[in-house]
Structure 1
Amino acid sequence: MTQRAYAPYSGVQVGAAGVCADGRQVAGCNIENASYGLTQCAECALVADLVSNGGGRLVAVAVVAGDGEPIAPCGRCRQVLYEFGGADLLVDTPPGPVTLATLLPWAFGPEDVELRRSPQGGTQ
């Protein structure tokens, strides 16, 4: 997947692959933009693939650089992955697989939004 990355600015090609609870596989690569804030990380592209193809729950994710070595997801991507995999999602990292809870302690997720929803609409 890294070979499909569009990384003309950083030169860092990143690919991500995931396995869903139902056994499906999803993948993504980074897509850079001249307006750097609009760059899409590989993990976000993976989630777009997941949602575009019926949704589901991620159970394992691996993110690699162009050299094939695992790299840890950035903070933004950890939050995005939490939404679709939860605390028990296995993430491959340079020292080995860990749960997302290890990488993102005290995560904020859908259940937190529901707990704080105001009966009048919006959130408290």
Structure 2
Amino acid sequence: MVPSVELKMLTANDRELIEYARQVIDANTDAGPDEDGAHTMGAAVRDADGRMFAGVNLYHFTGGPCAELVALGTARSNGARNITTIVAVGNHGRGVVGPCGRDRQVLFDYHPGIRVLLPTAAGLRAATIEALMPFAATWTIENGTQEFDEARFA
């Protein structure tokens, strides 16, 4: 059975997180409106205590880190252990952008149940990472790829 995707309306806290990510990338982008750059995406996360942490991407042809991964690392380095929500925002008013496949897998593996803010046909919405990764298998450092766990999608 294919898991159903339940999209939730955004909360005031979600909108605050989006604005925080937008401010961070607007203050730190290195590209003009029609230019490429190394820093063109910002991301922000919120932890269970309500604290927000941000990061910007570092584009590189070898696959530099996305803004979401930098924000997760920033949160961790500042003591955040329970990340509840994440969002990425493009520079120059490009708005909210959903996470790439690599970021989705990292979120799925390390932050079960995290809410992801993303654009949809119905506007900006929130979904759990499980909703964005139907039939995904978890990976762990200790045991590699795990068998499909249907309970994760209930």
- TM class by shorter chain equals 0.7 to 0.9
For residues 63-96 of structure 1, the C-alpha deviation after alignment (integer angstroms, 9 at most, x for no partner) is: 111125111100111122224421x211111121
Task: Say if 1:38 and 1:22 are closer, same or farther in 2 by CA, change over 3 A.
Answer: same
Offset of residue 111 of structure 1: 9.5
Letter in structure 2 aligned against 1:113: N
Residue correspondence of structure 1 range 74-85 to structure 2 within 5 A: 74-85=100-111
Task: Structure 1: state its 5+ residue gaps.
Answer: 117-124
Equivalent residue, structure 1, for 2:99: 73
Equivalent residue, structure 2, for 1:60: 85
Task: Say if 1:83 and 1:57 are closer, same or farther in 2 by CA, change over 3 A.
Answer: farther
The alignment's TM-score, normalised by the length of structure 2, stands at 0.62
Which of 17, 20, 26 is equivalent to 2:53?
26
Task: Say if 1:39 and 1:54 are closer, same or farther in 2 by CA, change over 3 A.
Answer: same
- Are 1:2 and 2:25 an aligned pair? yes
Equivalent residue, structure 1, for 2:68: 43
Indicate the larger mover: 5-14 or 96-105: 5-14
Instruction: Answer yes or no: is the 8 Å Cα contact 2:90–2:96 preserved in 1.
Output: yes
Q: Distance in 2 between matches of 1:115 and 1:83?
A: 10
Tell me the SS of whatever aligns to 1:43.
Answer: helix
Instruction: Answer yes or no: is the 8 Å Cα contact 2:137–2:145 preserved in 1.
Output: no
Report percent identity of matched pairs: 29
Letter in structure 2 aligned against 1:2: I
Which of 107, 113, 118 is equivalent to 2:143?
113
Instruction: Answer yes or no: is the 8 Å Cα contact 2:68–2:87 preserved in 1.
Output: no
- Are 1:102 and 2:131 an aligned pair? yes
* Paired positions, count: 113
Q: Distance in 2 between matches of 1:5 and 1:107?
A: 35
Letter in structure 2 aligned against 1:49: T
Offset of residue 32 of structure 1: 1.7
Letter in structure 2 aligned against 1:13: T
Task: Structure 2: state its 5+ residue gaps.
Answer: 1-23, 147-154
Instruction: Answer yes or no: is the 8 Å Cα contact 1:79–1:107 preserved in 2.
Output: no
Indicate the larger mover: 24-33 or 41-50: 24-33
Equivalent residue, structure 2, for 1:90: 115
